[in-house]
Amino acid sequence: MRTMTATDAQQSFGDLIMKAQAQPVAVTKHGKNVAIVMSDEEYQALKIQAFRAAVQEGDFSGDDGLHNMEDIKLEARKAAGLID
């Protein structure tokens, strides 16, 4: 994974966007990762992967109750690290 400092990312935003199309770019501040910039295509693929994992987990949970789509979406967002 490529890395850019926050200052470089700010000064060369266009370059950051171009690099992120090829692979995720870690943005660092004081030597620590503070953000990951990725293409929308890769982000959408991660969302689908998290959704499928949440559905599969529900299928194998042993709970024969009704599946609530909002709960499935919430679990997918949690699995993807989008929310706590």
Report pLDDT for 60. Answer: 66
Write a three-state SS string for 16-45: HHHHHHHCCEEEEECCEEEEEECCHHHHHH
Structural domain that includes position 8 = 2-38
Instruction: Specify whether 30 is located in the same domain as 8.
Output: yes
Cα torsion 68, 70, 75, 76: sign: positive
Residue 84 counted as domain residue: no
Report pLDDT for 66. Answer: 64
Domains identified in the chain, total number = 2
Average pLDDT over residues 61-69: 66
Average pLDDT over residues 58-70: 67
- Per-residue pLDDT of 3-46, as tens digits, reads 999 999 999 999 999 999 999 999 999 999 999 999 999 999 99
Report pLDDT for 67. Answer: 67
